[in-house]
Amino acid sequence: MDANFKSRFGATRGGQPVCLSRAPSDDIAPWIGRLYVGAAEVPNGCRVDCGLFYDATVFRMQLRGTWEAHTLDGVRSSEKSALMFGPQTRMMRLSTIGPFLTVGFSLRPGTGHALLRNQTGDLLDRFITCEEMGLPGEAALARLDQESEPEGWFAVLEQFIRAIVKAKGGEQPDSITAQFELAALIDPSFAIADFAEELGIPQRRLERIITRDFGLTPKQVLRRSRALDMAAQLRGVGDEAEEDDLLLRYYDQSHLIREFTDLFGMSPSQFVARPQPLLTMALESRQAGRLEAIARVAPGAKRPWE
């Protein structure tokens, strides 16, 4: 753990930093995956080099701090801003300078197509401003500034989300996408052909829907999901009871090392040895949502790493 990095919301029993996150209110749950607040006290001018790896589109309201991300469009910096990050195909190098505070939420797969009519594939490994999407990012920032506690921030975000859902017609993501999302969270080692057969649809139709809503082919989605679950386990923000099952998702150790290195840019042992505070916080939020979604942990209950 980086001694200069202290999360506002504490650490795991193993000393890893965590953010604060929760599931959205039921009325917006078809479109929203997770609400979160990430905040850390870091000495002024101190640079933390790390990364991000999300498998969902994420809205990031940066209220404090300076960020630098290595995107598909090159190295981009931002300070106070309302940004829409597309999913990452591999770990995105990201750095912060000084203390920071970010409030945000993730979209469930297919929300972009259902509500915004955007193509997820166009946003992979990139970010744009909310205004570029015609969304009230600056208004959201102004409202968030009036709050000082997490539930206040979450309430502001949920109000904006409800207004956007209503304005955009309230169409929900494809049910096939929702079923695939849940299956990938449970165990992303299933055969695509078998899954299509269970749903009673042609495999090509499944592939078209998943590619549209995730921006990746079904096989690529499952590969990324396996790696993210393993990364959470390696950082100590996973369920230890799942460790053996996670390893069985790979043919052997060389398969694990090869896939992990390709997606994270380092071997599993290197990943464990290096401080990864920003990435660990993101993995912890995802894993909390995953364990709730597959009913291994009740919403709001104590998590295995706490």
* Nearest Cα residue to 59 out of 79, 36, 33, 84: 84
Chain position carrying tokens 């994270």: 264
- Residue 2's pLDDT is what? 65
The domain spans of the chain are 6-167, 175-293
Give residue 91's identity as a one-letter amino acid code.
M
Q: At what angle do helices 277-293 and 218-234 cross, to 10 degrees?
A: 110
Are 126 and 69 in contact by the 8 Å Cβ rule? The answer is: no
Tell me how far apart the alpha carbons of residues 171 and 210 are, in angstroms, rounded to a whole number: 17
Alpha-carbon 123 to chain mean position:
14
Tell me how far apart the alpha carbons of residues 195 and 203 are, in angstroms, rounded to a whole number: 8
Token duo for residue 62? 């940066």
Tell me how far apart the alpha carbons of residues 57 and 35 are, in angstroms, rounded to a whole number: 12
Contacts of 36 (CB under 8 A, 6+ apart): 19, 20, 21, 103, 104, 105, 106, 285
Q: Which CATH number fits domain 6-167: 2.60.120.10, 2.40.30.10, 3.30.1300.10, 3.20.20.70?
A: 2.60.120.10
Tell me how far apart the alpha carbons of residues 242 and 226 are, in angstroms, rounded to a whole number: 12
- Residue 206's pLDDT is what? 98
Counting as low any pLDDT under 70, the low residues of the chain are: 1-3
Q: Which CATH number fits domain 175-293: 3.40.640.10, 3.30.565.10, 1.10.10.60, 1.10.8.10?
A: 1.10.10.60
- Residue 4's pLDDT is what? 80
Helix (H, G, I), strand (E, B) or coil at 119: coil
pTM of the model: 0.96
Strand partners, 96: 48, 67
Check for a shared fold between 6-167 and 175-293. Answer: no
- Residue 151's pLDDT is what? 96
What is the CA angle 13-17-23, rounded to 5?
95
Tell me how far apart the alpha carbons of residues 42 and 246 are, in angstroms, rounded to a whole number: 34
Helix (H, G, I), strand (E, B) or coil at 281: helix
Are 213 and 181 in contact by the 8 Å Cβ rule? The answer is: no
- Residue 98's pLDDT is what? 94
